[in-house]
Structure 1
């Protein structure tokens, strides 16, 4: 039997492309970078040629953000972003550089950085250090780095929360991700606070690894597959014991659910539908009447919401925004749907920095014009980009709920006042 390649047929569905070019209109890169051929040419059109001869591969595909906006816009559901990413992995002659490997290996770098977080955080702000990284590693010296925490979330959980969480009869498991573990453990604490308020204990997955999105973007594919298989094992164990698996990062969630199968060709079908954002899980509990939630009467905020690109692809924006709208004291502003431009590690690279900022400029301008107290968003890298480019703080919707919730009243409403709580959320 002839293989798909011998038949000139892709394992992606480029044959469904009707050449309407709507994907190019919605692509944030083509608007600012004339070197990028655009999703139609880079994706379905280019795939037709690459299947005949790999020499037709264009290295300009490196400029793709993998934001998936082309796929959201496509009327025929062509996997344009997947076609482009798969082509980069398969045909590019350039392997990951030292910089790419460092940016991709978030667990390795995070474990080192958290051991000496004050020194690392101080050093990464120094202009001479930033200039050296710019010249030697090609990490743009204008880019600011997220701070590292001195205590990893997993360590805090083991010391302060694990015994308490075990005592809740209803349980969920938590894929916390690298950002929560190494940079901002408070977001993980906020999820525990919210879940404990409505009667759920939170377990951590067994030996969780990075979701792999940075490794995929930087073509460290063997490592991404290794970590992916580990995470599938850990999530499968959680699902088998009856847990839903919650995440607080839209990109982690999207990678675990979709990129594992489409890009890494890993079998996650038995667990995919059990992986969801914490906001989706909480909204469903409230909407089904399973739990009640009370908010502080003194909470007053003007909040603007930014939809991360991968959140738009998931189609779950409504759950996060609906929860924020439930808070009586919130003046809610829905920002226009627009890519922030950072795309994970993409915006850290010197060759991409100017494009990254140009892509995000309309969003930055709108945020400044709103006069909001802060922006809410479900993606940590969007947070870094917006905070650096506007000076406006960004909070995950789970953190917004954790701050606004009347914790004791919510527990009373749900009849769980007798269950223990963590001393320090």
Structure 2
């Protein structure tokens, strides 16, 4: 066998399992992009079918793959467990010749933008809400003028935690580590505060990772792979220290951050996390398991009365963990629980901010928006921060993480007593 034959065979090897595709097209039926965007070839053609051609000749790559949300809904329904979304994202990373522009870098560098914005949050929030500013960003950066930006906080969650909470956490006999993510740190510290409240009430102290970086999902979707891999390595170092050296479980309040660390790191960034993956989980899963095993109890206020609909984020559906969040919500006696049909909200992180994607984003989410408005609820619950932004902007309804709803409904002192929380 000569060298040319060997090189040809190597070029026709894929890191993904596209060979397992049985061409049933159920992925295409379940794809939220295909019905609204005729330019997107669909997950079957873009994924396993396209991979067969791309391995032979890279010029078969289609830039229309940029319209994929990476929502993983195709993978949820695939009967052969083909990593369709990973195939598409890997192809974009490997073959696309379009370099990320200024807009993409701004949207993806959440730590840099967050650190800058929180220093002058009132000015930034007011400026980003001005119509002339939105029109300028639309014309110059390609950030759609219709998109509403999430507000920045004047004080980062990490700053509050160091000043107000850190010293008290060591008083609790049991501990967990918390991957707070960019949203909690820069946009909505209250969610992090609510987690501290709930976990303290059941007898757990919170420890932050020492040098946490963005999970990398925005950088991955904008093809800033070197930067995403750099941040991922740092995060894994911190997670390993917490899990392997301190024997702590690492919990998060974002379904997307948790999914990225557990599943995207090895599949898209080639970062091996097998030694710690099972100890990285959503806070609702950790809390539910405590209650289900009899290790914790929640006691709720008698006066809490709300009608709440739960939206399952796409990455939450891929994780298979919706049951934990919804079960916790159903434990609240005064909560009238309303399940929503499985629909993508359409924002997909930075995807829905881009001018070329905005209309598709809204069309994808419209069935969800209409259902929410038709249910006449007081509140929508979801475990994804970008789903929260999309639903609030598109329906006008308030949206909260299940942890925040639990914190609001909880009788703190009664819960402490029920869990016999004795501080050191």
- Is 1:89 the counterpart of 2:93? The answer is yes
- Is 1:80 the counterpart of 2:73? The answer is no
Instruction: Give the equivalent residue in structure 2 for 1:338.
Output: 343
Equivalent residues in 2 for 1:234-313 (5 A)?
234-240=238-244, 241-313=246-318
Q: 1:66 aligns with which of 70, 80, 88?
A: 70
How far did residue 169 of structure 1 move? 1.2
- CA distance in structure 1 between the aligned counterparts of 2:201 and 2:69, rounded to whole angstroms: 38
Over the aligned positions, Cα root-mean-square deviation in angstroms equals 1.1
- CA distance in structure 2 between the aligned counterparts of 1:162 and 1:363, rounded to whole angstroms: 39
Secondary structure at the aligned position of 2:10 is classed as: coil
Equivalent residues in 2 for 1:109-124 (5 A)?
109-124=113-128
Secondary structure at the aligned position of 2:151 is classed as: coil
TM-score normalised to structure 1 length: 0.97
Equivalent residues in 2 for 1:187-266 (5 A)?
187-240=191-244, 241-266=246-271
Instruction: Give the equivalent residue in structure 2 for 1:46.
Output: 50
- CA distance in structure 2 between the aligned counterparts of 1:242 and 1:3, rounded to whole angstroms: 46
- Is 1:6 the counterpart of 2:10? The answer is yes
Deviations 1:72-127 (A, max 9, x none): 01000000000000000000000100000000000000000000000000000001
Deviations 1:149-205 (A, max 9, x none): 000000000000000001111000000000000000000000000000000000000
Instruction: Give the equivalent residue in structure 2 for 1:26.
Output: 30
- CA distance in structure 1 between the aligned counterparts of 2:297 and 2:208, rounded to whole angstroms: 25
- CA distance in structure 1 between the aligned counterparts of 2:160 and 2:7, rounded to whole angstroms: 51
How far did residue 3 of structure 1 move? 6.9
- CA distance in structure 2 between the aligned counterparts of 1:5 and 1:411, rounded to whole angstroms: 63
Residues 43, 84 of structure 1: 8 Å contact kept: yes
Secondary structure at the aligned position of 1:76 is classed as: coil
Residues 209, 230 of structure 1: 8 Å contact kept: yes
CA spacing shift, 1:4–1:254, aligned 2, 3 Å? farther
Q: 1:353 aligns with which of 358, 361, 370?
A: 358
Instruction: Give the equivalent residue in structure 2 for 1:380.
Output: 385
Secondary structure at the aligned position of 1:299 is classed as: coil
- CA distance in structure 1 between the aligned counterparts of 2:160 and 2:81, rounded to whole angstroms: 43
Instruction: Give the equivalent residue in structure 1 for 2:327.
Output: 322
Deviations 1:124-150 (A, max 9, x none): 000110000000000000000000000
Secondary structure at the aligned position of 1:381 is classed as: helix
Instruction: Give the equivalent residue in structure 2 for 1:363.
Output: 368
CA spacing shift, 1:5–1:396, aligned 2, 3 Å? farther
Secondary structure at the aligned position of 1:235 is classed as: helix
- CA distance in structure 1 between the aligned counterparts of 2:308 and 2:418, rounded to whole angstroms: 27
- Is 1:128 the counterpart of 2:123? The answer is no
How far did residue 419 of structure 1 move? 2.4
Q: 1:143 aligns with which of 147, 153, 156?
A: 147
The number of residue pairs the alignment matches comes to 419
Deviations 1:218-254 (A, max 9, x none): 0011100000000000000000211000000000000
Secondary structure at the aligned position of 2:161 is classed as: helix
Residues 173, 423 of structure 2: 8 Å contact kept: no
Deviations 1:267-286 (A, max 9, x none): 11111100000000000000
- Is 1:411 the counterpart of 2:397? The answer is no
How far did residue 206 of structure 1 move? 1.1
Unaligned stretches of 5+ residues in structure 2: none
CA spacing shift, 1:252–1:4, aligned 2, 3 Å? farther
After alignment, is 102-111 or 8-17 more displaced? 8-17
Residues 121, 153 of structure 2: 8 Å contact kept: yes
Instruction: Give the equivalent residue in structure 2 for 1:423.
Output: none
Residues 4, 11 of structure 1: 8 Å contact kept: no
Q: 1:108 aligns with which of 109, 112, 125?
A: 112
How far did residue 57 of structure 1 move? 0.2
Residues 5, 51 of structure 1: 8 Å contact kept: no
Residues 294, 409 of structure 1: 8 Å contact kept: yes
Secondary structure at the aligned position of 2:420 is classed as: coil
- CA distance in structure 2 between the aligned counterparts of 1:404 and 1:336, rounded to whole angstroms: 25
How far did residue 392 of structure 1 move? 0.3
